Structure 1
Amino acid sequence: MTERIIRIATALIRDADGKILLVRKRGTRAFMQPGGKIDPGETPLQALLRELQEEIALHLKPADLVDLGTFAAPAANEPGFTVEAALFAVTRTVSPSVQAEIEEAAWVDPADPGTIVLAPLTRDYVLPLCAALNAEGPMAETDCGDVLTRLQNPL
């Protein structure tokens, strides 16, 4: 049987108020983190740096990102597939600009995303992570790993 996994790299981008940047690709309904597919020969970090530049005009360096781990969820736009997502936190303030295949971007409160359609990865992993981070108060993105561990392994 053919493996039905799509390997992607995505960015967790929060603003000073704890809102998360989500994007919607042209011709789709679900909002998700910026990022995209990892090309052959690319590392997840290389793929993410390329995708952020292409999609939202962010020119980041590897030092601007913290690896939060890899997560799997049903693909939002490709039925029957699973995304295996390398998730990275962006550690500096950014000003994204929608371009390429991105139709729309929104800063969303992770505790109350409203009525927008969310990709399963965003809904099941990223928003709970952000809500937990915001509930703990101001903290460095490098502390995300501890929060993720607690979310995945509740006491």
Structure 2
Amino acid sequence: MSSSNVSLVPSKTIHIAAALLIGSDGRTLLVRKRGTTAFMQPGGKIEPHELPVHALARELEEELDLDIDPAQAVYLGAFSAPAANEPGFVVHAELFQLNIEADVTPAAEIEEVIWIDPTRDTGLNLAPLTRDLILPFYRASLTAIA
């Protein structure tokens, strides 16, 4: 296949910026989009020519009415997992941690927000990225500090 044909192949990867939002009590915020069942990290798709941290700030403002300073976001790494709501797709997330004390309000496509204790099994339906990678990563970082 020549390189000129590569752009004609639809990408099966969704590139997003995601947040590990940590409240003052140590709980983390998860969101559920309207019409779906899985809870996941807040965030969203990175637009062409947009830096991941700026995409995150835009998405948090749109979805949670949360105004963040991109300079306060700590980059944690890139994580990939099967997409929760798009069968056959993979989500590739640039993950940032933010400590927040502000109230959040579901907006745009977000139907529900929930604060969870990241060290406990919640029994919630979690997106693969959150369940299999992000929460275990965060739990490991907590035990490394302790």
Are 2:24 and 2:99, in contact at CA under 8 Å, matched by a contact in 1? no
Percent identical residues = 52
- The residue number in structure 1 matching 2:60 is 52
**Unaligned stretches of 5+ in structure 1?**
139-155
Specify whether residues 73 and 3 from structure 1 end up closer, same or farther in structure 2 by C-alpha distance, changes over 3 A only. same
Which amino acid in structure 2 is aligned with residue 2 of structure 1? P
2:139 alignment partner, one of 121, 131, 135: 131
1:91 alignment partner, one of 90, 99, 104: 99
- The residue number in structure 2 matching 1:27 is 35
Rg larger in structure: 2
TM-score w.r.t. the length of structure 1 is 0.82
Q: 1:112 and 2:120 equivalent?
A: yes
- The residue number in structure 2 matching 1:145 is none
Q: Which contiguous aligned blocks of 4+ residues in structure 1 show a shift greater than 4 angstroms?
A: none
Are 2:63 and 2:108, in contact at CA under 8 Å, matched by a contact in 1? yes
Q: 1:77 and 2:91 equivalent?
A: no
Q: Post-superposition shift, 1:136?
A: 4.5
- May I ask how many residue pairs the two structures share in their alignment? 138
TM-score w.r.t. the length of structure 2 is 0.87
Are 2:23 and 2:100, in contact at CA under 8 Å, matched by a contact in 1? no
Specify whether residues 135 and 16 from structure 1 end up closer, same or farther in structure 2 by C-alpha distance, changes over 3 A only. farther
User: Any idea what the Cα deviations from partners look like across 1:37-69, whole Å, max 9, x if unmatched?
Assistant: 111221111110000000001111111201111
Which amino acid in structure 2 is aligned with residue 113 of structure 1? D
Q: Distance in 2 between matches of 1:87 and 1:94?
A: 20
Q: Distance in 1 between matches of 2:44 and 2:111?
A: 15
